[in-house]
Structure 1
Amino acid sequence: MKQPHIVAIGGTLRASSGTARALEIALAQAESHGARTTLLTGAAIDFPNYEPESALENPVIAAFLATLRDADGIVIGSPGYHGTLSGLVKNALDHVELMRSDDRVYFDGLPVGIIATAAGWQAAVATLGTLRTVAHALRGWPTPMGVAINTLASPNAIHEAEPQIATMVGQIMGFVGRG
């Protein structure tokens, strides 16, 4: 059996992004289950606005799509901006449309873990719900456990969410193991 590949997408352009830290925790958990992992955050998902005709000419977008095509599971993380996912993450996910003609369309049949971070519960939970909707639209299977993190609740909020992240990653790995 091949080693499962778990890909995390999201974060911000800030080097100290709490969302990116949460995604790193998720990938460390996946590695502890024997997965190989790839983190796509910051510059790795900072694409021009989605435009299908020119997107295929961009080598960074081509590398992004190649990584997603190789994935056995996905984790999507976004900060909550004004009650929903960030433009950076949404634009990256818009580029998944370029996988519409693949043998495995979009994220069809893949488990998708969701992490939302925000400076308050309302935005974190609203962003989590929106990301679930996007995962469904991309034919992915959101895990039962999604992780909403209120970064104002504690200076260590990201670290304190590790048990929930571990549960979510365990669900991803359990799903991958059934494939």
Structure 2
Amino acid sequence: MSAPHIVALGGTLRTESTTGRLLAAALEIAEARGARVTLLTGDDIAFPHYEPGNADSHAAIGRYLAALRTADAVIVGSPGYHGTLSGLVKTALDYVEQLRADERVYFDGLPVGLIATAAGWQAAVSTLQALRTITHSLRGWPTPMGLAINTAEAGDAIAKCNPQMEIMVGQIFDFLRR
């Protein structure tokens, strides 16, 4: 298998957000296994609300869609805001609708790793579940291992979650080999 392209998207507009750092750490694991990686977080996914006709009006949206079109796998991460994913991440996922007429529609057949962070277990778990539901709607295959991280308890979230991230990234590679 040639080097797979893994695209991670999500996080927040804060450059040092926990979600963004976890996405970057997951990509470091993937890169160490031989993947080409692209991280799309913060301003890279700060798009106007989705409207079918406005996708061509924003250069960053074109770059985002181009990355997704070449992706062999995706990792999505979102903070939990009021029990579900953030508007930033939801809007970015709404733009996947622009792939509806592509040869590979949406995330059809792609493994998708999921990371949800929140300052409490309830929001982290419900955000992870929402990400799974959206991934299914986009025809993606969520990895069995998804990360729900309580940032109020995590301390160093990356160090604590590294074993689970290794499993999730390993499941992406197992799926790609099949």
The answer to whether the superposition gives a TM-score over 0.5 is yes
* Counterpart-to-counterpart distance in 2, 1:12 and 1:59: 19
- Asked if 1:107 is matched to 2:107, the reply is yes
Give the drift of 1:11: 0.1
Give the drift of 1:65: 0.3
SS in 2 for 1:2: coil
Partner of residue 161, structure 2? 161
SS in 1 for 2:3: coil
Partner of residue 174, structure 1? 174
Q: Percent identity of the aligned residues?
A: 63
* Counterpart-to-counterpart distance in 2, 1:60 and 1:72: 20
Letter in 2 for 1:174: D
- Asked if 1:126 is matched to 2:139, the reply is no
SS in 1 for 2:37: strand
Gaps of 5+ in 2: none
- For normalisation by structure 2, the TM-score amounts to 0.98
Partner of residue 28, structure 1? 28
Cα deviation, 1:104-146, whole Å, max 9, x if unaligned, reads 0000000000000000000000000000000000000000000
SS in 2 for 1:68: helix
Letter in 1 for 2:171: Q
Partner of residue 52, structure 2? 52
Deviates more, 1:140-149 or 1:151-160: 151-160
Partner of residue 135, structure 2? 135
Q: Say whether the 8 Å CA contact 1:151–1:158 is kept in structure 2.
A: no
SS in 2 for 1:153: helix
Letter in 2 for 1:25: A
Q: Say whether the 8 Å CA contact 2:18–2:157 is kept in structure 1.
A: no
- Asked if 1:9 is matched to 2:9, the reply is yes
Give the drift of 1:176: 1.0
Gaps of 5+ in 1: none
Give the drift of 1:158: 3.2
Cα deviation, 1:8-28, whole Å, max 9, x if unaligned, reads 000000011000011011101
* Counterpart-to-counterpart distance in 2, 1:155 and 1:129: 23
Higher helix share: 2
SS in 2 for 1:53: helix
Letter in 1 for 2:110: L
Partner of residue 87, structure 1? 87
Give the drift of 1:159: 2.2
* Counterpart-to-counterpart distance in 1, 2:159 and 2:80: 18
* Counterpart-to-counterpart distance in 1, 2:96 and 2:53: 14
SS in 2 for 1:113: strand
SS in 1 for 2:124: helix
Q: Say whether the 8 Å CA contact 2:3–2:34 is kept in structure 1.
A: yes
